[in-house]
Chains A and B, each alone.
Chain A
Amino acid sequence: MSSRIFAQFLAVLALCVSQPASADQPDLRIVSESDLRFGSFAVLDRGYREVSAAGSVQSAGIFSVTNGDTGPARFTITYDRGNNGRRNLDLILHVVLSPAPVVTSGGIVARLSSYQTDLPGASRVAAGQIFEIAMPNCRTRICEKTFYVGGRLDIERNFGGARITVPIPIDVTLASVN
Chain B
Amino acid sequence: MDWIAIVKMCAMFAIGGLLIYLAIKKDMEPALLLPMGFGAILVNLPNSGVLTQGPEVTGLAHESTGIIEWMFHVGIEASEALPLLLFIGIGAMIDFGPLLSNPKMFLFGGAAQFGIFAAIIIAVLMGFDLKDAASIGIIGAADGPTSILVSQVLKSPYFPAITVAAYSYMALVPIIQPFAIRLVTTKKERQIRMPYNPKSVSKTTRILFPVIVTIIAGFVAPMSVALVGFLMFGNLLRECGVLGRLSDTAQNVLANLVTLLLGITISFSMTADHFLRIETLFILLLGLVAFVFDTIGGVLFAKLLNLFLKNKVNPMIGGAGISAFPMSARVVQKMALKEDPTNHLLMHAVGANVAGQIASVLAGGVILGLVPQLIK
A and B together in one complex: no
- Chain A: residues with CB nearer than 8 A to chain B? none
**Residue ranges of B at the interface with A (Cβ–Cβ < 8 Å):** none
